[in-house]
């Protein structure tokens, strides 16, 4: 009987989502201030779509965040990266709300999570409370906004997901009022020859098109003379009325002679497909110029569910002697629309610019596994690491190797293995695999050491080397001094830094008892908020141990007084 009821509930919730019924009055705002956005749902980010909205918090932390409806807390996570401090609340109507980058939790949730942190003696924890264990009412204080995790400034990351499929949906579909009468901005327009025999404006390569604004507010592009199969791409963003941020579009449509060739929107997506964003954008262009061109044609590995309609994969077959009227519509969620019209004429011209091909000695077939010997290292690509076949550029070396460049995206991890036999066992302790940036600055890669072999897993092509870190981390007190009276202090703060491989772990005790210190990597600080239960002595002895990623360790000791 119980299983039958569960099945009916699952069917009801699934049906509700399939019918795209988004309740307009079920949820209150998570904040008491007017909602102004720094980021929109589905924005194009590095290797993923943005799965929520980023709400501005007036450039400050500590604003009260509230449960948008009655529910139960199903997940709490404290992390140095990602969402930082985050709460997940399941609601009876089949949705789950998510609140990220929090400064701290409400007193009852803070007490709950602190007990777990002290039990595990760890700052970073993830817990899944039993259903109903932490109930909340609509409008109940659940946390305070912050800047924790991978946040680049104070804001609230807010999501609404399906409790069944866990798919995030656009929160602005649920009746939240965002002031927006501003049309999207078109900043770049591109045309691509796609078939072997195609050309555009006497070129076999991608071209940027000029466009001008018309009296009705639309744009008219320069005429395209083409033959063969072509496609278009746009560099575009949206803005709300009260913010200058360059946000993502909600919907893009491409029509050819009035027929819809491409129509996709960012109403919802699954986390399992989000990395396929790399097939939506022109990744080679992004790797070179850090600009995301959205392609209006689908490549074979693009299997995303964001498309409402696609004809001929969005590609346009141009026949000589025929004319085509291409319209591209860029829309935000309020249906503010920017239109660009591109006249296309089928005309075969003398080819002046041949197709650019960077051929190397190694041609990688994406659907097969590939292994390459690089003298001092080896790289292994599992099958389907990449979306397309390509000529891969490899530079061999004893301690440093280059594996192509950042213009090709990898969909999954590949493995780089270095031979460390020439180093002594003592030297190996301080060695690690590092990725070098364009200025040859090393960044630590998680390094697995097995005897003479060092390996790492990554999705980033580029230059890798064996680096050495022989310098231990540094620890410095920032708000107190040795033997100082701290009776009126609310917290202790220390700065911890490492010059190369980075901080791996830290631990602190006060009078021999483990204490919870919050680590903020963006500020290189660890902070202890005084807990009266642990301070039963007037003289307090603090000990902090910090270890970097190759095992170099530093111990800081200090004593102070407190009534």
- CB-side neighbour CA atoms (13 Å) of 412: 12
Strands 431-436 and 462-468: antiparallel
What is the mean predicted confidence (pLDDT) over 317-321?
A: 97
Burial of 374 (C-beta count, 10 Å sphere; 0-12/13-18/19+): buried
Comparing CA positions, the residue from 52, 20, 47 lying closest to residue 37 is 52
CATH of region 474-561: 2.60.40.1220
**Quick count: other Cβ atoms within 10 Å of Cβ 56?**
22
pLDDT tens digits for range 488-525: 899 999 999 999 999 999 999 999 999 999 999 999 99
Lowest average pLDDT, out of 6-10, 91-95, 325-329, 445-449, goes to 6-10
345, 341, 307, 299 alpha-carbon torsion, rounded to 10°: 40
What does the DSSP 8-state code read for residue 358? Answer: -
Confidence grade of residue 1 (pLDDT, cut at 50, 70, 90): very low
What is the per-residue DSSP string for 217-284?
S-EEEPPEEEEEEEEEEEEEEB--TT----BPPSEEEEEETTEEEEEEE-SB--GGGGGGHHHHB-HH
pLDDT at 282 over 50: yes
Produce one character per residue of 287-306: b if its CB has 16 or more CB atoms within 10 Å, e if not: eeeeebbbbbbbbebbebeb
Which one is predicted more confidently, 474 or 20? Answer: 474
Which one is predicted more confidently, 160 or 357? Answer: 160
SS3 110: helix
What does the pLDDT read at residue 358? 87
What does the pLDDT read at residue 507? 97
pLDDT at 383 over 90: yes
Q: Tell me the domain boundaries of the chain.
A: 37-173, 185-346, 362-427+435-455, 474-561
What does the pLDDT read at residue 356? 86
d(CA 372, CA 16): 50
pLDDT tens digits for range 189-199: 999 999 999 99
What does the DSSP 8-state code read for residue 122? Answer: -
Strands 44-45 and 48-49: antiparallel
What does the DSSP 8-state code read for residue 314? Answer: G
Burial of 29 (C-beta count, 10 Å sphere; 0-12/13-18/19+): middle
pLDDT at 2 over 50: no
Average per-residue pLDDT in the chain?
A: 94
Residues of the chain above pLDDT 70, percent: 96
What does the pLDDT read at residue 537? 74
Strands 71-78 and 370-373: unpaired
215: which residues sit within 8 A by CB, 6+ positions away?
A: none
Name which CATH class applies to 37-173.
mainly beta
What does the pLDDT read at residue 535? 58
437, 438, 441, 445 alpha-carbon torsion, rounded to 10°: 10
What does the pLDDT read at residue 15? 38
What does the pLDDT read at residue 20? 56
**Quick count: other Cβ atoms within 10 Å of Cβ 545?**
16
pLDDT at 287 over 60: yes
186: which residues sit within 8 A by CB, 6+ positions away?
A: 211, 219, 234, 235, 236, 330, 338, 340
**3-class secondary structure per residue, 431-447:** EEEEEECCCCCEEECCC
Identify any residues that bridge with 49 across adjacent strands, giving them in sequence order. Answer: 44
Strands 337-346 and 224-237: parallel
Confidence grade of residue 26 (pLDDT, cut at 50, 70, 90): very high
Q: What is the pTM of this model?
A: 0.92
pLDDT at 270 over 80: yes
d(CA 114, CA 78): 11
What does the pLDDT read at residue 9? 40
């Amino acid at each position: 009987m119980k299983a039958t009821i569960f099945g009916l509930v699952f069917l009801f919730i699934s049906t509700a989502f399939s019918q795209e019924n988004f309740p307009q009055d079920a949820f209150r705002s998570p904040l008491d201030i007017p909602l102004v956005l720094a980021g929109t749902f589905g924005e194009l980010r590095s290797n993923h779509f943005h799965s929520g909205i980023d709400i501005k918090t007036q450039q400050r932390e500590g604003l009260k965040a509230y449960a948008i409806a009655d529910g139960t807390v199903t997940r709490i996570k404290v992390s140095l990266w990602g969402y930082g401090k985050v709460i997940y609340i399941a609601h009876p109507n089949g949705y789950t709300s998510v609140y990220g980058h929090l400064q701290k939790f409400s007193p009852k949730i803070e007490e709950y999570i602190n007990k777990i942190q002290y039990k595990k003696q760890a700052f970073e924890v993830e817990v899944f409370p039993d259903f109903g264990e932490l109930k909340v009412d609509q409008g109940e204080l659940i946390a305070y906004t912050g800047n924790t995790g991978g946040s680049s400034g104070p804001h609230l990351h807010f999501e609404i997901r399906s409790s069944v499929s866990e798919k995030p949906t656009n929160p602005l579909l649920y009746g939240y009022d965002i002031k927006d009468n501003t049309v999207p901005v078109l900043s770049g327009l591109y045309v691509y020859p796609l078939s072997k025999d195609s050309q555009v404006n006497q070129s076999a390569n991608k071209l940027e098109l000029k466009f001008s604004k018309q009296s009705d507010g639309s744009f008219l592009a320069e005429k395209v003379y083409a033959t063969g199969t072509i496609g278009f791409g746009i560099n575009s963003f949206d803005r709300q009325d009260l913010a200058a941020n360059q946000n993502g579009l909600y919907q893009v449509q491409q029509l050819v002679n009035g027929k819809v060739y491409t129509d996709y929107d960012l109403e919802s997506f699954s986390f399992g497909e989000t990395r396929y964003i790399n097939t939506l954008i022109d990744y080679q262009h992004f790797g070179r110029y850090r600009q995301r061109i959205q392609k209006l044609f689908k490549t074979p590995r693009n299997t995303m569910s964001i498309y409402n309609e696609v004809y001929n994969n969005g590609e346009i077959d141009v026949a000589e002697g025929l004319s085509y009227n291409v319209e591209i519509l860029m829309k935000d969620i309020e249906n503010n629309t920017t239109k660009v019209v591109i006249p296309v004429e089928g005309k075969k011209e003398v080819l002046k610019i041949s197709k650019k091909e960077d051929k190397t000695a190694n041609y990688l077939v994406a659907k097969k596994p590939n292994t390459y010997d690089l003298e001092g290292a080896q790289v292994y690509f599992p099958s389907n690491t990449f979306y397309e076949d390509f000529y891969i550029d490899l530079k061999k070396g004893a301690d440093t190797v280059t594996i192509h460049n950042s213009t090709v995206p990898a969909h999954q991890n590949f493995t780089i293995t270095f031979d460390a036999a020439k180093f002594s066992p003592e030297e190996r302790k301080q060695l690690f695999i590092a990725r070098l940036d364009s200025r040859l600055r090393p960044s630590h890669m998680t390094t697995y050491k097995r005897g003479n072999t060092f390996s790492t897993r990554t999705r980033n092509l580029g230059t890798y080397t064996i680096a050495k870190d022989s310098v231990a981390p540094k620890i410095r007190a920032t708000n107190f001094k040795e033997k100082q009276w701290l009776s009126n202090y609310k917290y202790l703060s220390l700065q911890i830094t490492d010059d190369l491989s980075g901080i791996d772990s830290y631990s602190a005790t006060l009078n021999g008892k483990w204490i919870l210190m919050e680590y903020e990597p963006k500020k290189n600080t660890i902070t202890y908020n005084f807990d009266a239960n642990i301070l039963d002595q007037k003289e307090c002895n603090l000990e902090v141990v910090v270890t970097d990623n190759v095992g170099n360790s530093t111990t800081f000791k200090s004593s102070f007084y407190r009534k």
